[in-house]
Structure 1
Amino acid sequence: MVPLVIQSMQYWLSEHPKMVTFRWNTQLWGSTWLFLLTSISFYITAAVTLHHLLLPLFLRRRSRPVPLGPIPALHSLAMTLISAAIFAGTLSSVAAEIRDTRWLWQRSKTPFQWLLCFPLGTRSSGRVFFWSYVFYLSRFLLPLRTFFVILRRRTLPHIQLFYDSIFICMSFLWLEFSQSFQVFTILCVSLMYSMVFGYGFWAELGFPGPTYPGIVIHCQMFLLGCNLVFHVGAILLHFFKGGCNGIGVGFVNFVLNAVTFFMFFKFYVKMHLPIRMDVTSKPKSSSETKDEFANGKDKDD
């Protein structure tokens, strides 16, 4: 019975014909530059319009947060399940891909090096890139969090706007240029998000625990740091192991990751340094911490 269950899971996670024969092309939903730029522009415009125009127009400035009911909890649950599926599917697909293609590169690379550095000429096709495409599509669900923050706290989360837009763009570049090192990033992000959104679902149901925004900011700092490490590893392998596919765009991703990391680090320092310097001051409440996370401590709003 157990072997049949494992075999069935492997089929649906890595051996389904749609996954094995997957190929990134312009016929897929969301696979064009026009779609990418339009969707990011629409996201930013919609968030800014909601915050600066629609809410002041239809609601009083000091009115209560807009009730969202179970929508945030359902969003967290959906992201938890999707992230867990992406992690399991990517892990199973990586094992299957190494098994089937190892004879091509085993003399020049170890499996770990292959995960960081795809051989030159690699195309965006097969199991691994199928799950990379699913990961890319799932990024379009993340911006819903921005609208939840705006409706609940009446603040515009500038850092979150920037982070979501950059992550959507980077996920697209991974597929468009068959970029190396994306496998490690997908595995780390999907595993971390399955836990973060799982806790978010727990918090939305009203169960006690640490403040949710605090957990999110620490996890995002960790993920961005891991991304920088993966970039450095891929660059080193590119120069010392005969080249990595998509490394040119990898430098662009490296810069975007570095900028995003230092933005989050700056916010993290601003959020925690005053508390440590003034140990006699009143501890910040959970609601105050949430507000700071939402607006990045931007005093203009």
Structure 2
Amino acid sequence: MDPMIQTLTYYLSNHPSIVTFRWSVTQSWGSTWSFLFTSISFYLAFSTLLHLLLSLLLRSRRPVPLGPFPALHSLSMSVISATIFAGILLSSAAEIRETAWFWRRSKTPLQWLLCFPLGTRPSGRVFFWSYMYYLSRFLHMLRTLFTILRSRKLVYAQLFNNSVMTCVSFLWLEFSQSFQVLAILCATLVYSVVYGYRFWTAIGLPGACFPFVVNCQIVLLGCNLVCHIGVLMLHFMKGGCNGIGAWVFNSVLNGVILLLFVNFYVRMHLGKGKKTSTAAILRELPEVEKVN
């Protein structure tokens, strides 16, 4: 094996901090319910306060200049998402190799990715990267501030989505929820592409001739729906999946996001003669992401 590949594999899946990771109040920052509710409440309150202050202090609707910060944020999120994708992919392969003896008579590797065995604990490689994904959700929230400063609008769908996704990623860890590995793989792959595209356009390079971000979100939601059906079938056919209660809660939230997105997509393509442009609708609902 190439030395560079060996080094990357070590730091992404075999480092002692990754292998020995354990989700707990004493070992993991941000792992308490009080921290979750406090941080989300602060995010909502600060976003609302910033919007109100701008409305009171700046009468004009001109955007606040942000310089290179949105582009740097997009580049950083693209790199972080790609790193989490590579890390959880390598870690999943390692976990399957090392633990297949325990569940191989009842599950295939794909079934394991969809349905953790009952009694699974939030420790080890894949949960380390699930924890990294949870922490990255707080960096996603910065886009809300950029939206408020640039468009001078408080987009409630964006606030709802970021709050829900942060809560959901917390539940993945707290209840060792099944399906989170595939969810993170799909989400981080799309995020790395979408944020890379946003960086590309932010530095002045030409964008796609079609709604690129929206189409990526359609693919993400489609994969999500198919996998949810797979989890439900395995739960009843294979004797149960770990964390199914949290999965049901996540599915309800996912249904809400899906309905919002379908409504948005129909309005964009089947406006029935209305003169609302695609750009205007995209500004109205700029952040529809997947909930798992």
Q: TM-score, normalised by structure 1?
A: 0.90
Alignment map for 1:52-201 (pairs within 5 Å): 53-60=52-59, 62-201=60-199
Alignment map for 1:230-245 (pairs within 5 Å): 230-245=227-242
C-alpha contact 1:158 1:295 (8 A) present in aligned 2:
no
Q: What's the CA shift for 1:282?
A: 6.6
Alignment map for 1:182-221 (pairs within 5 Å): 182-210=180-208, 214-221=211-218
Match of 1:45 in 2: 45
Match of 1:7 in 2: 6
Q: What's the CA shift for 1:58?
A: 1.5
Q: Which amino acid aligns with 1:72?
A: P
C-alpha contact 1:40 1:165 (8 A) present in aligned 2:
yes
C-alpha contact 2:79 2:192 (8 A) present in aligned 1:
yes
C-alpha contact 1:221 1:261 (8 A) present in aligned 2:
no
Question: For structure 1, which segment, 214-223 or 63-72, has the greater mean C-alpha deviation from structure 2 after superposition?
Answer: 214-223
What is the rounded CA distance, in whole Å, between the counterparts of 2:142 and 2:209 in structure 1?
Answer: 20
5+ residue gaps, structure 1, are 297-301
Q: Which amino acid aligns with 1:226?
A: C
Partner SS for 1:122: coil
Residue 74 to residue 242, structure 1, CA distance change in 2 (3 Å): same
1:226-249 CA-partner distances (Å, limit 9, x unpaired): 223222211211110111110111
Percent of matched pairs sharing the same residue: 60
C-alpha contact 1:47 1:147 (8 A) present in aligned 2:
yes
Q: Which amino acid aligns with 1:167?
A: M
Q: Which amino acid aligns with 2:86?
A: A
C-alpha contact 1:180 1:247 (8 A) present in aligned 2:
yes
C-alpha contact 2:65 2:150 (8 A) present in aligned 1:
yes
Residue 283 to residue 180, structure 1, CA distance change in 2 (3 Å): closer
Q: What's the CA shift for 1:283?
A: 8.2
What is the rounded CA distance, in whole Å, between the counterparts of 1:98 and 1:8 in structure 2?
Answer: 20
Q: What do you get for the CA RMSD once the two structures are aligned? A: 1.9
Count of aligned residue pairs for this structure pair: 287
Residue 46 to residue 79, structure 1, CA distance change in 2 (3 Å): same
Residue 21 to residue 260, structure 1, CA distance change in 2 (3 Å): same
In the TM superposition, structure 1's runs of 4+ consecutive aligned residues that sit over 6 Å from their partners are none
